[in-house]
Structure 1
Amino acid sequence: MKQIVLFLACIALFSCKQNKETPSEEVTQSPADTTAVKEREYAVLDSKVINNEAFWGDFDTDLGDFLHSDYNRISALVIEKTIPEIKQSIADGDLTYEDLVLFYLSRIKKFDRENDLSLNSVIAINPDVLEQAKALDESTEEIDIYSIKGMPILLKDNIDTAGMPTTAGAVAFENNNADDSFIVERLKESGALILGKANLSEWAYFFCGDCPSGYSAVGGQTLNPYGRKIHDTGGSSSGSGVATAANFAVAAIGTETSGSILSPSSSNSVVGLKPTIGLLSRGGIVPISSTLDTPGPMTKFVIDNAILLNALTGKDNADPASKKLNAPEEDYVAGIKEINDVKQFLSEKRLGYFKGSMEDTLYAQAVNDLKSAGATMIELERQDIKLPQFGRVLNLDMQKDLPDYVEKYGDKSLSQRDVKSITTFNKEDSIVRMPYGQKLFYGILADSASAKEFAAIKDTLQTNGRAFFDIPLKENDLDAVLSINNYMAGYAAVAKYPAITVSMGYQEDNRPMGLTFMAPTLSEKKLLELAYAYESISHKRKFPSDYK
């Protein structure tokens, strides 16, 4: 399928390699969409910052004692298994939490860095994770197979986590040793094991402008397991998507401003949920935009996404968006467990699909599959609604939000505390710190607006974004609209609406594609149930074959 990609979207939406429906007038041909598949040349591939020997120093003895026979036995219990399936193996005594951590660590060591299959998706390992797993194994508490307890989770490296620096992929933040973010506190309260940090597009892809998604100065170039050096990873939660797809962890947490969960999830055949703004706290997360930022779960399966979302939710009075939304408590797993008959469930749903997207054969197949399973499918014409000055929201927010993060959450010893000081620092060693330049940071510094003008820009964007969805939703009494990958992420971003993407198959060159469900504020429960129903009738996800 020929895709249209918009230049400004690379600035405003972080995922220009995949984004078709984006707010700009100028269009270019995406290099990812050439007919002939060719290996990409990257200016920088491996990290010049990570010391591989030091990276694994804490685990050499334990991994040395982890036998090939252990790996093979555990693999059958873990690879491409849901959280309930893994937890059931632990409940049955066939698997321990220590086994699980060692298995994932061995896979990361084998596949992730400095070899012909390296993916560069993991940026740090929690030095205490094995001891934490062993402590859980000593517990006599009954195991709830639908809980996150004991499950090894990777965090995008812009999420503060005690015991590991939070770098945002930038050398300037290499020693940003911060306390746990609000969502990490929630994960730990639920008993999750923080396995480590995932690589990302540096500064959440709002930094260089001309760099490939998945690149950071600290982590190097993340690569797609379905087409290493061929298919784009999507950004900016690149490492979270890649590591989840390659079975380096049970699941991962990403963050999105506009497309940064949806893009790498669809690019790597995983389930990614971008929640309603404010449902999950942004406290202790290196920001782009307090207006649009949100963390969200990235998993192999929809049920895992619901389990992880249950653990992440909670009102944070220190986050204005969380406080304002004041979302009611919800059990996202319960609704999925109640779906006993998928066809009966879908027979009661009305879904809108876009006529102009039916040229994509995978999308057309997904629409037909849902229709055949009983859903009422309504054809929609895409509205001509613009998102003017989208990129300026990011510029103007980051001017204030980044120093605010440093002051409130960052390491007190940080010398570079705002965009200007970071750009100066990077120029001191441009080859290591900014090999692709820092054009977007210069754009941040050049922008300005009065408070009144900025408020008007945001108001127009939210009004337009909501109209894009609300008009067809209300006119046709729809439960959700269907998109592809992150094509309409910009509209969902400014509307502050949730979206979830789930694998809908692969193009001829093995490039993964996602079916994306979008609906109004606080529709996460409905979206998870719809995604689960589609996943149940389609079963499109497949494991990247080179990483078995």
Structure 2
Amino acid sequence: MAYEDGAALLERQSGGLSAEAITRQYLERIAALNDGEAIALRAVIAVNPAAMDDARALDQARAGGQVLALHGLPVLIKDNIETRELPTTAGSLALSANAPGRDAPLAARLREGGAIILGKANLSEWANIRSAGSISGWSAVGGLVRNPHALDRSACGSSSGSAVAVAAGLAWAAIGTETDGSIVCPAAVNGIVGFKPTVGLVSRTHIIPISESQDTAGPMTRSVRDAALILGVIAGSDPSDPATIEADARREDYAALLDAGSLAGTRIGVVRFLTGYHAETDATFEAALQVLRDQGAILVEITTGPDRAAIGRAEFAVLLSELRTGLNAYLESTDPAQVPWRSLSDIIAFNRGEPRELALFGQTYFEAAERTSGPDDPDYLAALETSRRLAGEQGIDAMLSEHDVVALIAPTTGPAWAIDVIYGDRVAGSASQLAAVAGYPHLTVPMGLAEGMPVGLSFFGAKWSDALILSLGYAFEQASGARVHPALAPSVEARPEVARALRPAGAH
């Protein structure tokens, strides 16, 4: 059951399997693998104490003839998204008592769609915006998330716990959030599907913010169909989030629109300037391109694009300014009895006084954000205009138009790097920036292995092209069959073929 897709679990419920039994099995798997003596994935910060009661209520509803889109399917929620039963900590000890007792609209929509909130997923603390020297997947509250394919490898971040929980079968699905890469990177290196929707399709209300212009939540699943099912439930307008004003009009039945034949005759741009940083990832990418050709896709080579260094400089300025503004507003909205820290400057001071918080790396980004001047600063406004224009109009939009293609593809990132508490993260390359900065949809789907570790294929395209991107990824997924279950190996080096190569010639 641990690795079954949603359609199978829904069908088995119609045949008599109870939501209570499904939930119990996932909770037992969490107990065995999340904090076990032999294996401790640290993917789950907290389990929902009401999960079994919720499952029984859904079984009663089914007995009464009510069947919902996600009926009885257990979902983990990244711990920067509020749920009514559990604290929402962002992995920080400063928020360990932050329990407002309310659901984010996203969580409420999941419940209304029949999902069971199984618990909270660990994450890179503060969604990986605290320091340039961070270790992805680590939080002071939850500890370090481990990649289930090789336990000494990074789970990437910041939605690391969400990705690992899905990959290792601790939940049917999970919700992650992304500002730039935080859904697609952990999904890719853990061998699952991750979808970052168009910014404004899913409510961000009661989600601890980084960036008003780039933040979004999205599904992390073992299949594209499951991601489409979840998106169909969580998408929609929210009066409290002005970015979602168009969401109701743009929302579609994403699962119904999936088409295994959607690649045939479709022109897709191959973004070559997002390759070349890892030879075996490139080789796996070439094999994926052949799968696309075999399905009838017309691949168009794209060798040049926007100035990514300029985008990066502008994006960084935007994120720091919006972090300070957004986080101050969120902290001011919390209960002072639970969260006495009312501003970013208070959090910085708290961290300096809490040894566990700064034991592994500092808070350079927090300190830089505190020095920004706010949303009316001309430098911030100029950076926002520059980043959006270069990534959107002169980036993705221009490539789609000039090459007459409907979507773009590239390797999502390379295989997971070794966890390193001295040097921190070592991301060799990434396809996340353009779609993240533009606010456009981005899907990663498993495309195979590189050095024995999962790597993903990215599909991204125009604003509001979410249904198209999901369908193209679905067609590739169905043709490639590239998903693999994790081995829960201690390391890449422990694999027999690697271990033999590491020994001297003639050694046994």
Scaled to the shorter chain, the TM-score interval is 0.7 to 0.9
**Structure 1 residues 383 and 329, CA, compared in 2 at 3 Å: closer, same or farther?**
closer
Aligned partners of 1:129, 1:203: CA distance in 2, in Å? Answer: 26
Whether 2:442 is the aligned partner of 1:499: answer yes
Q: For 1:485, which of 412, 415, 430 is the aligned residue?
A: 412
Aligned partners of 2:247, 2:51: CA distance in 1, in Å? Answer: 34
**Structure 1 residues 236 and 188, CA, compared in 2 at 3 Å: closer, same or farther?**
same
Structure 2: which amino acid aligns with 1:469? I
What fraction of aligned residue pairs are identical, expressed as a percent?
36
Aligned partners of 1:112, 1:149: CA distance in 2, in Å? Answer: 25
Secondary structure of the 1:546 match is coil
Q: For 1:156, which of 65, 75, 78 is the aligned residue?
A: 78
**Which residue does the alignment assign to 2:265?**
348
Query: Cα distance, 1:184 vs. partner?
Result: 0.7
TM-score (norm 1): 0.81
Aligned partners of 1:441, 1:361: CA distance in 2, in Å? Answer: 39
Whether 2:36 is the aligned partner of 1:109: answer no
**Which residue does the alignment assign to 1:465?**
391
Gaps of 5+ in 1: 1-77
Aligned partners of 2:59, 2:4: CA distance in 1, in Å? Answer: 20
**Which residue does the alignment assign to 2:350?**
425
Q: Deviations over 1:90-132 (max 9, x none)?
A: 1111x21111111011111111114232110000010011111
TM-score (norm 2): 0.87
CA contact (8 A) 1:176 1:411 kept: no
Structure 1: which amino acid aligns with 2:98? N
Structure 1 residues 7-86: aligned runs within 5 Å: 78-86=1-9
Whether 2:364 is the aligned partner of 1:439: answer yes
Q: Deviations over 1:390-426 (max 9, x none)?
A: 2111111111101212334667631012111011112
Aligned partners of 2:332, 2:347: CA distance in 1, in Å? Answer: 15
**Which residue does the alignment assign to 1:33?**
none
Q: For 2:464, which of 515, 518, 522 is the aligned residue?
A: 522
CA contact (8 A) 2:87 2:99 kept: yes
Paired residues, what number? Answer: 461
**Structure 1 residues 363 and 247, CA, compared in 2 at 3 Å: closer, same or farther?**
same
Q: For 1:406, which of 331, 334, 343 is the aligned residue?
A: 331
Gaps of 5+ in 2: 414-429, 490-508
CA contact (8 A) 2:411 2:457 kept: yes
CA contact (8 A) 2:201 2:246 kept: no
Query: Cα distance, 1:137 vs. partner?
Result: 1.6
Aligned partners of 2:156, 2:335: CA distance in 1, in Å? Answer: 27
**Structure 1 residues 546 and 488, CA, compared in 2 at 3 Å: closer, same or farther?**
closer
Structure 1 residues 124-523: aligned runs within 5 Å: 124-139=46-61, 140-142=63-65, 147-178=69-100, 179-229=102-152, 231-323=153-245, 327-336=249-258, 339=259, 342=260, 344-356=261-273, 357=275, 360-385=282-307, 386-387=310-311, 388-408=313-333, 413-432=338-357, 434-448=359-373, 450-466=376-392, 467-485=394-412, 487-508=430-451, 510-523=452-465
Aligned partners of 1:235, 1:452: CA distance in 2, in Å? Answer: 31
Structure 1: which amino acid aligns with 2:148? P
Aligned partners of 2:32, 2:18: CA distance in 1, in Å? Answer: 21
Secondary structure of the 1:423 match is helix
Q: Deviations over 1:497-521 (max 9, x none)?
A: 110000001112x221000000111
CA contact (8 A) 1:279 1:327 kept: no
CA contact (8 A) 2:314 2:386 kept: no
Structure 2: which amino acid aligns with 1:398? L
Secondary structure of the 1:195 match is strand
**Structure 1 residues 494 and 254, CA, compared in 2 at 3 Å: closer, same or farther?**
same
Q: Deviations over 1:324-349 (max 9, x none)?
A: 6654331101112xx3xx3x432131
Aligned partners of 1:226, 1:410: CA distance in 2, in Å? Answer: 40
Aligned partners of 1:352, 1:326: CA distance in 2, in Å? Answer: 29
Query: Cα distance, 1:493 vs. partner?
Result: 1.4
Secondary structure of the 2:263 match is helix
Aligned partners of 1:161, 1:519: CA distance in 2, in Å? Answer: 32
Q: Deviations over 1:207-236 (max 9, x none)?
A: 13212100000000001001101x221110
Aligned partners of 2:239, 2:479: CA distance in 1, in Å? Answer: 40
Aligned partners of 1:211, 1:393: CA distance in 2, in Å? Answer: 20
Secondary structure of the 1:154 match is strand
Aligned partners of 1:272, 1:391: CA distance in 2, in Å? Answer: 23
**Structure 1 residues 470 and 329, CA, compared in 2 at 3 Å: closer, same or farther?**
closer
Aligned partners of 1:529, 1:142: CA distance in 2, in Å? Answer: 31
